[in-house]
Amino acid sequence: MNTDTSTPAPRVADRATYQAEMDALRIREKAHTHEGDAIAAARRRLPMVEVDAAAELTGPNGRTTLLEAFEGRRQLIAYFQMWHTGQSAAEQCEGCTFFNSQVRELSYLHARDVTYATFCQGPYEESVRYRDFMGWDVPWYSVTESIEALMAGRGPFMLACYVRQDDRVFETYWTTGRGVEVMDQTLGLLDRTVYGRQEPWEDSPAGWPQDPDHATWRTDGRPTAQWSRLRAGRSDDLGVVERTS
């Protein structure tokens, strides 16, 4: 247990003073929520662009198509996971691991006629071993044959939304960078804590702890979430040939 009292902390106030400042902040939080609602409404009014429904994917049953990835539902959300082909599990993208680790319960999306899938930018047999090592059970496809058609120069990672009309598929929204934070609850929860994400770009009081090495996502040379899998005895062998110097 950390009992260090030398780290700066907020000033101490009585309950009434604390609550008065909370009430003032809540007004701003509600305005932020309402603006988010307005932005979501604008998303629903965007035009859409047709994409090739026959774009080739590779899944657990071999070659398939973008249309088949809908699993018969009306909409599809796909996360385009970065992949370092031929490299070990330890060398895979910590950011993609961080975000994709947090999309787990899909039944609520399915109840809205929405499928979620990971579209990995690397080969299927190699990358699906990573999914299994991490214990993820989301639908997993390789899009190596269709990256140019589907990503169209965007990325390096991307979250995209699609809708189908019979056998035609349309892209309705995409985002990258901090836009993919919608997949995660960790950062949102950290934003509610007194020390926040502890990233140098944050506007924090002087002396607040910071993590310039971004250790939340990578610890001791690996994406952080890998360590619990290794302790559980899972193999991180991706079937790649180890490189020698």
Q: Would you place residue 3 in the very low, low, confident or very high pLDDT band (cuts 50, 70, 90)?
A: low
Q: What is the mean pLDDT of residues 217-243?
A: 91
8 A C-beta contact, residue 157 and residue 174 = no
What is the rounded CA–CA span in Å between residue 129 and residue 135? 10
8 A C-beta contact, residue 39 and residue 173 = no
Question: What are residue 168's DSSP bridge partners?
Answer: 165
Q: Would you place residue 126 in the very low, low, confident or very high pLDDT band (cuts 50, 70, 90)?
A: very high
8 A C-beta contact, residue 97 and residue 90 = no
Strands 140-142 and 114-120: parallel
Percent of residues, the chain, with pLDDT higher than 70: 95
Task: Give the count of beta carbons closer than 10 Å to the beta carbon of residue 236.
Answer: 16
What is the rounded CA–CA span in Å between residue 190 and residue 197? 5
Place of tokens 């040379």: 221
For 55-91, how does the pLDDT look when each residue is reduced to its tens digit (9 = 90+)?
999 999 999 999 999 999 999 999 999 999 999 999 9
What is the rounded CA–CA span in Å between residue 66 and residue 51? 9
Q: Would you place residue 243 in the very low, low, confident or very high pLDDT band (cuts 50, 70, 90)?
A: low
Give the pLDDT confidence score for residue 108 in this predicted structure: 98
Reply yes or no on domain 49-182+219-231 having CATH 3.40.30.10.
Answer: yes
Percent of residues, the chain, with pLDDT higher than 90: 90
Place of tokens 């250790």: 215
Q: In the chain, what are the domain boundaries?
A: 49-182+219-231
Q: Would you place residue 9 in the very low, low, confident or very high pLDDT band (cuts 50, 70, 90)?
A: very high
- What is the pTM assigned to this prediction? 0.92
Give the pLDDT confidence score for residue 215 in this predicted structure: 67
At 178, the amino acid letter reads R
Q: Would you place residue 122 in the very low, low, confident or very high pLDDT band (cuts 50, 70, 90)?
A: very high
Give the pLDDT confidence score for residue 245 in this predicted structure: 39
Give the pLDDT confidence score for residue 244 in this predicted structure: 43
Better-predicted residue by pLDDT, 212 or 153 = 153
